[in-house]
Amino acid sequence: MVSDPAIGIHDLSFSTTEFVLPHATLADHNGTEIGKYHVGLGQQSMSVPAADEDIVTMGATAAEPIITRHGSDRVRTVVFATESSIDQAKSAGVYVHSLLGLPSATRVVELKQACYGATAALQFAVGLVRRDPVQQVLVIASDISKYDLDSPGEATQGAAAVAMLVGSNPALVRIEEPSGLFTADVMDFWRPNYRDAALVDGQESVDAYLRAVLGTWKDYAEQDGRPLDEFTAFCYHQPYAKMAYKAHRHLLHHCERHSGEAAVARAVGRTTAYNTAIGNSYTASVYLALAALLDEADDLTGRPIGFMSYGSGSVAEFFGGTLAPGYREHLRTTAHRGAVDRRRPVDYATYRELHERSFPADGGDHPTPSQTTGSFRLAGLRGHQRVYERRAADSARSSAEAGFRRLRPDGHRPATAHS
């Protein structure tokens, strides 16, 4: 099933936000029994973006270590997948291209189909590499999941970016053919252009997801894909971690396999470590599941992994991949765990203030408070243009403020986050 040369994921790196809201804090605020979040949804906490963070800063942070390790000589395409886009015309990838100093001889484009976008990007990347196996494609999946405050969706927010270098003879995952495909026009989750937060029909979204699982699986089987039992683990899109369990139980039941708790946990249990702490990262989420599997599991060399990518609206794809010999030498486990652990908890009032923040649309100078400590920050909005900065590693906060001196301070205090 792996054609010659093998093509797939050569490197993978993720980033998340500066802040985190534990579900216990949310439950304290809204009086929800914590078991609903911890057990019912399988969520412990969710990443919360700082005022000077967005999909570009997360995307650049995720991709930077990949460019540092491999250089950019072979990268001729950057595909940025997101459903929380910052501009209707310009690709967020162009900002990342600039922040990372990539060569001008690069094509850069943004892709959208809800949480499925990154999988489309990955498959398009495989096609480009098949055309010219010397080239590599940088795929960046970056999203901020946002629902209305005090809505049922609020507990399933989060944010993260995953960057993947796609090329021939990949060091991590060899992507297989065929794919199982499924599209159905449903209104389970959507975000009109005039809204910041998504709209969702919760129960319909779960049902639509489950229909898509069977739809992709049936097509995958018809395309002569692997039998179910050959897969060692399954990476599902995880709007919340429990959804992976629900989806796999549904698939096992459909395939007339034993669908008890242990069988389901064996297949998906090692894929949830990052999503349970980060929350929904929309199109990045299925590849956070892969990151968790690679970082958590014992050696899986040569073992087939199933991927089920679901994007509301809806488009889904099931495909397989095998882990390349020696893949464990290329993992970024320490950095990944560090990205999750370094987040600073915010109290409920700070989270709410960050959630409700938006830029005025008057074309003025609107600097953001310097809240982040990473390499990249959104310095503000000036004349309707987003201004990004790259910080020197050793002078994080002070250099960011200096670089933004032409903008008026907005009088906003940094988030009252505990350090």
Q: Hey, which residues between 72 and 101 contact ligand CAA (CB under 6 A)?
A: none
CB of 305: closest distance to ligand CAA in angstroms?
Answer: 20
Residue 169 beta carbon to ligand CAA: minimum distance, rounded to whole angstroms: 33
For residue 231, give the amino acid letter: F
115 is catalytic: yes
Which residue in 77, 119, 205, 272 binds ligand CAA (CB under 6 A)?
205
Q: Does 178 bind ligand CAA (CB under 6 A)?
A: no
Q: Does 248 bind ligand CAA (CB under 6 A)?
A: no
Q: Does residue 261 touch ligand CAA according to CB under 6 A?
A: no
Instruction: State which residue, 152 or 326, has the beta carbon closest to ligand CAA.
Output: 152
The greatest distance separating any two alpha carbons of the chain, rounded to the nearest whole angstrom, comes to: 65
Counting residues that bind ligand CAA (by CB under 6 A) gives 26
Parallel, antiparallel or unpaired: strands 158-168 and 173-183: unpaired
Give the whole-angstrom CA distance, residue 374 versus residue 16: 10
Q: Applying CB under 6 A, which of residues 28, 39, 257, 418 lies at the interface with ligand CAA?
A: 39
Nearest approach, Cβ of residue 11 and ligand CAA (Å): 25
At 7 the three-state DSSP class reads strand
Q: Could you tell me the strand order of the sheet in which 365-367 lies?
A: 365-367, 376-382, 385-390
Omega before 409 within 30 of 0, i.e. cis? no
- Write the CB contacts of 95 (distance below 8 Å, at least 6 apart in sequence): 56, 60, 386, 388
The encoded tokens of residue 280 equal 């929904």
Using the rule CB under 6 A, is 36 a contact of ligand CAA? yes
Q: Among 160-168, 202-210, 211-219, 331-339, which window interacts with ligand CAA (CB under 6 A)?
A: 202-210
310 scored as a contact of ligand CAA (CB under 6 A): yes
Burial of 259 per CB tally in 10 Å (0-12, 13-18, 19+): middle
Residue window 144-163: x/- pattern of binding to ligand CAA, with contact defined by CB under 6 A: --------xx-xx-------
Residue 246 or 366: the one with the smaller Cβ distance to ligand CAA is 246
For the chain, the residue count is: 419
Catalytic residues: 83, 115, 237
